[in-house]
Amino acid sequence: MVAEVSRMMNRTYSELVSLQCENRALRQQIKEFENGSRYLKIQSDYSRVIAGYKRENQQLKKEVEKERVTGKKARDLWIDQCNADWEKYQSELKKQERQIEKLEKKYQDYVDKSEEERSAMIADYEEKLSEKDAVIHELSVRVAHLEAIRGHDGTNTGIPTSQTPTGKKKLIPNSRRGTGKPKGGQKGHKQHKLEPPAEKDINDEVQYTAMEGGRCPSCDSKNLEYIGPGEPRYEYDVEIQVKKRRIVDSLYRCNDCGEIIRVGSIPVARTACQYGPVIQSLALSLTNTVNASINKTAMFLAGIANQELHPSEGYIAKLQARASKGLTSFYEDLRILLLTRPIIFWDDTVIFIHAQRACFRFYGDDSIAFYTAHLHKDMKGIQEDHVLPLLTEETMVMHDHNMINYHEDFFFQNLECAQHLQRDCQKNADDTEHPWSSELKELIAETIDDRKRAIAEQQRCFKKEYIDHFEERLEHILQAGWKQYEENKQRLEKYGASVEKALLTRLNKYRPNYFAWVYDFSLPTTNNLSERSLRPIKTKMKVSGQFESEQAAQNHAVIRSYVETCRRNGINEITALKRLSEGNPYTVAEIFDVR
C-alpha cells in the first residue's frame, strides 16, 4: 500500500513539473506578443518563405524559356533532317530509276540479240564470276595462311618461348607426363634432413646463457638460476676469411749453365702482390657459369671479403684471357678425345660479338663438352673447329638437320633429331590442315614411349613384328601425305605447298637418318643434349649483351669446355678452377683416366 502511494505521488509530482514548464512557455509567448517580438519573427519567417517562392518561380520561368528555345531548335533541326533525308531519298530514287532504265535497256539489247550472241554474253559473265570466285578463294587461303603463321610458337617451330607474342599464352614444350600425384612430399617418403656432424668434425661452438639482468618471460621475475646446458643443436655455415699471405720461393742455380731456377707452390708472380687462386676461381666461376656481369662479379667479391679486397673490372677481364691461355693443352687434348667418341651431339646458336651476329657452337656427349666461337656461321668455322672433318665412318653425329653435315667431304653417319621432326609436322598440320603430319607426329611419340618401356625391361631393340608394323604405318602415312599434297597443291601453291613438299621430300631422302633410333636403342632420339648445353650462353647474352671481340668469346668457350667437362665427370667446379688458377689444371688424362 505504501509503495503504491509512493508511485502515485511520484507520478503526480512529475505531472506537476510538466505543467509548470508548459506554463512558463505560455507566459513567454504572451510576453513576446505583448512586446511585438513574436509578430516580428512571424513576419520575418513569412518574408523568407515568400522570397523562396519568388526565386523558385523565376527559376521555373527560365527553364520554361530554355525548353521553349531548345524545343524550337530541336524542331528546326528535325525539319532540316527530314528535308535532307527527303532529298537523299529523292536522289536515291533517281539513281534507282536510272539503274532500272539501264537494266531495261540491257535486257532489251539481250532480247534483240541472236541466240549465239546471248550464249557468248552468258559465257563472258560466267568467266568473270569464275575470276571473282578465284580471287575470293585466294584471299581466304591467304587469311588461313596468316592465321597459321600467327599460331607459330615453340610447339610447331624452333621459335624460343621468350619470343612468344604479347597477349598469347606461352607454351613451354615438355615431354614429361603428369603422374596424378599431389605436389610436394608423398606419403611414406623418407624425409631428408641435415645430419649432425661427428664430434671430431666440430670446429666451432657457441653457448648461450641468460643475460645479466634478464627476466623470466612468464612472470617477469629476475630470480634466474643457471641449471645447465640444454639439448645441443648443430648448424653448417661458411665463414669468409681474407688471408694475407707471404710467399717465399726457393732459388737454385744450375752450376752447368748458370740459369737461376725459381721453385714455388704457385706460378711465378706477375707483380709483387696479386690475388690468390681462390679469389681467382670465384671470379672465373661467377663470370663463366653463374653468368654474372664483370662489374657484378667485382662487387660480389668485394662484398664477401668485407670490402678488404677490391678486384677491378679490368683485372677480371684479363683473368679470362689468362685462364684460357692456361687451358691450351687441355682444350686440344679434349678435342682429340672427342674424335674417338662413337656418338657426338652438336648444335650452334647465335651470339653477338661487337654488335654483330656471331656463332657459338657445341660438340660433345654426356661426359665431354667442347665449345667454340666464330664471327660467322659457315663452313669455314666448321673446318677451323677440326671436329667434323676428322670423323670417320664409325662415328654417329646427332644434329637438327644441318645440311652442312651431308657435305661430300664428311664421312661420318648422320642422325636426325626426332623432336625437331615433330615440330615440323605440327607446323605443317597448322599451316595446311592435312592430317598426315599429325598422324606422323603421334606415331613418333607412341614409338618413343614404347621404346622407353622396352629399355626399362632390359630390351636392346624392338621385336621384328613391331618394326614391321612401324614401317607399314610409316609408309602408309607418307603415301597419304603425298596424296594430300597432290590434291591440294594448287590451292596451297603460294601458302604452304612448297614447305609441305620439302618436308615430304626430306622424309623420303633422310628416312634412315630420322628413324635409326627405332632399330637400335643405343642411339639417341633427340638432340636435346646439345640444346641444354647451349642454353647457358643464351642466359649470358641476356646479362652481358655481347662479347667485345671474337677472342673474348673464344676465351669463354675454352673455360666453359673445361668447367663443364669437369662437372660432367663429378669434379667440383671451384676445385677445378682453383687448380687452373694455380697453374695446374686437370688434364684430360686425369679426368678420363686415359694414357
Domain ranges of the chain: 2-111, 113-148, 325-592
DSSP letters, 532-571, are: HHHHHHHHHHHHH--BSSHHHHHHHHHHHHHHHHHHHTT-
d(C-alpha 194, C-alpha 55), whole Å: 88
Residue linked to cell 612472470? 219
Return the pLDDT at 94. 85
Return the pLDDT at 273. 85
Return the pLDDT at 279. 92
Q: Please name the residues in contact with 160: beta carbons below 8 A apart, sequence gap of 6 or more.
A: 154, 538
- Contact between 398 and 520 under an 8 Å Cβ cutoff? The reply is no
**What is the pLDDT confidence band of residue 124, given thresholds at 50, 70 and 90?**
confident
d(C-alpha 382, C-alpha 384), whole Å: 6
- Contact between 261 and 251 under an 8 Å Cβ cutoff? The reply is yes
Return the pLDDT at 562. 97
DSSP structure class, residue 367: S
Cell of 419: 623432336
pLDDT tens for each residue of 312-371: 999 999 999 999 999 999 999 999 999 999 999 999 999 999 889 999 999 999 999 999
Mean pLDDT over 431-441 rounds to 89
Average pLDDT score, the chain: 83
**What is the pLDDT confidence band of residue 4, given thresholds at 50, 70 and 90?**
low
- For 491, other C-beta atoms within 10 Å of its C-beta total 16
533 burial type by CB count under 10 A (0-12 exposed, 13-18 middle, 19+ buried): buried
Beta bridge partners of 396: 343, 413
pLDDT tens for each residue of 187-207: 777 777 888 888 888 888 887
Find the length of the chain: 595
pLDDT tens for each residue of 164-185: 666 666 665 555 556 677 777 7
Q: Phi, psi (5° rounding) for residue 85?
A: -60, -40
Q: Is 345 helix (H, G, I), strand (E, B) or coil?
A: strand
Please give the single-letter amino acid code of residue 338: L
Q: Please name the residues in contact with 351: beta carbons below 8 A apart, sequence gap of 6 or more.
A: 357, 358, 359, 360, 373, 537, 541, 546, 547, 553
In this structure, the dihedral spanned by the alpha carbons of residues 526, 528, 531 and 536, taken in order and rounded to 10 degrees, is: -170
Q: Phi, psi (5° rounding) for residue 426?
A: -65, -40
**What is the pLDDT confidence band of residue 496, given thresholds at 50, 70 and 90?**
low
**What is the pLDDT confidence band of residue 274, given thresholds at 50, 70 and 90?**
confident
pTM: 0.70
Q: Give me Rg for the CA atoms of the chain.
A: 46
- Contact between 527 and 345 under an 8 Å Cβ cutoff? The reply is yes
pLDDT tens for each residue of 11-31: 665 676 677 777 777 777 777
Cell of 23: 506554463
Return the pLDDT at 369. 97
448 to 212, 365, 395: CA distances (angstroms): 71, 20, 23
Return the pLDDT at 574. 94
Q: Which residue has the higher pLDDT, 550 or 25?
A: 550
155 to 399, 421, 431, 435, 441: CA distances (angstroms): 19, 11, 13, 17, 12
- Contact between 354 and 546 under an 8 Å Cβ cutoff? The reply is yes
pLDDT tens for each residue of 41-85: 777 777 777 777 777 777 877 777 777 767 667 777 778 888 888
